[in-house]
C-alpha cells in the first residue's frame, strides 16, 4: 500500500512513461505517399488551368481582330453612304463583285463640314487598304485597314454595270491570324444617300 505522499509521484512517473513510450508520428513511407498524392493533385489542377489560360489569350486575340474588322466595315459603310460618286471595280470601269471601290465623299459625313475627298479601298492584295486625297489631286499613301482578307476579289458588289450604284453590298471574310482556321464574315448593305444626279 502506498502512502498518500507517494501517490502524486507515482502518477507523475506513470504519465512520464506513457508520454515517453508513445512515439506516434509520421513514418517516412507515409510521408512519401502523401507527397506523391499531392503531386498528382497538383498535376491535375495544372492540366485543367493551363489550357484555359491559353484559350483566354486566343479569345482575346480573336475579339480584338473581329473588332478591328468590324470598325473597318463600319467606316467603309459610312464613307460609301456619304459618297457623291462611286465606281465598284477598276478605275472608271464598273465591275461587280470586286475587291476595289473608288468613291468621292461629300465631306459631310463627320461632325464638321470638310472638303470632298476621293477615297479608294483596295482589298485585292489580301488586305484592305484605304488611300485618300483631295478630289482631282494626288492620293496619299495607302493605309492598311484590315489584314487577312480571304475574299479579296468579292468584297464590294453593286448592281451589274451600274455607274454610281444606289446600293453597295460589303462582304468581308477575315481570318483572325495564326491558329484560327474559320474566317469571320462581316456583311453590310449600304444605300448611297448623296449621289450626284
Q: pLDDT value at position 23? A: 62
Q: Does the residue 10 lie in any domain?
A: no
Q: Does the residue 39 lie in any domain?
A: no
Q: How many domains does the chain have?
A: 1
Q: pLDDT value at position 6? A: 62
pLDDT digits (tens, 9 = 90+) for 143-194: 999 888 888 888 998 887 667 888 899 999 888 766 677 788 899 999 988 8
Query: Which residues touch 118 (CB under 8 Å, ≥6 apart)?
Result: 102, 103, 104, 105, 132, 133, 134, 135, 136, 137, 139
Q: pLDDT value at position 113? A: 54
The pTM for the full model equals 0.68
Q: State the cell numbers at 124.
A: 485585292
pLDDT digits (tens, 9 = 90+) for 102-154: 999 877 655 455 788 899 999 999 899 999 998 888 999 999 998 888 888 88
Following CA atoms 124, 130, 134, 139 in sequence, which dihedral angle do they give, to the nearest 10 degrees? -60
Q: pLDDT value at position 158? A: 87
Q: Does the residue 38 lie in any domain?
A: no
Q: Does the residue 90 lie in any domain?
A: yes
Q: Does the residue 95 lie in any domain?
A: yes
In terms of Cα–Cα distance, which of 28, 181, 156 is closest to 87? 156
Q: Does the residue 25 lie in any domain?
A: no
Tell me the residue range of the domain where 82 lies: 52-191
pLDDT digits (tens, 9 = 90+) for 29-76: 888 999 999 999 999 999 989 888 888 888 888 888 888 889 999 999
User: What sign does the dihedral 135-193-129-72 (CA atoms) show?
Assistant: positive
Q: Does the residue 19 lie in any domain?
A: no
Q: Does the residue 46 lie in any domain?
A: no
Q: pLDDT value at position 162? A: 67
Amino acid at each position: 500500500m502506498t502512502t498518500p505522499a507517494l501517490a502524486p509521484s507515482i502518477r507523475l512517473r506513470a504519465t512520464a512513461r506513457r508520454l515517453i513510450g508513445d512515439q506516434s508520428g509520421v513514418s517516412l513511407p507515409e510521408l512519401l505517399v502523401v507527397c506523391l498524392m499531392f503531386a498528382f493533385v497538383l498535376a491535375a489542377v495544372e492540366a485543367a488551368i493551363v489550357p484555359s489560360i491559353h484559350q483566354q489569350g486566343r479569345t482575346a486575340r480573336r475579339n480584338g481582330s473581329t473588332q478591328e474588322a468590324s470598325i473597318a466595315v463600319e467606316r467603309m459603310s459610312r464613307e460609301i453612304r456619304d459618297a457623291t460618286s462611286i465606281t465598284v471595280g477598276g478605275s472608271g470601269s464598273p465591275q461587280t463583285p470586286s475587291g476595289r471601290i473608288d468613291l468621292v465623299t461629300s465631306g459631310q459625313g463627320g461632325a464638321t463640314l470638310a472638303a470632298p475627298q476621293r477615297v479608294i479601298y483596295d482589298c485585292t492584295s489580301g488586305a484592305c487598304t484605304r488611300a485618300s486625297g483631295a478630289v482631282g489631286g494626288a492620293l496619299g499613301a495607302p493605309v492598311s485597314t484590315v489584314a487577312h482578307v480571304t475574299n479579296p476579289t468579292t468584297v464590294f458588289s453593286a448592281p451589274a454595270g451600274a455607274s454610281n450604284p444606289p446600293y453597295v453590298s460589303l462582304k468581308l471574310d477575315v481570318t483572325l491570324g495564326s491558329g484560327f482556321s474559320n474566317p469571320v464574315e462581316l456583311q453590310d448593305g449600304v444605300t448611297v444617300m448623296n449621289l450626284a444626279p
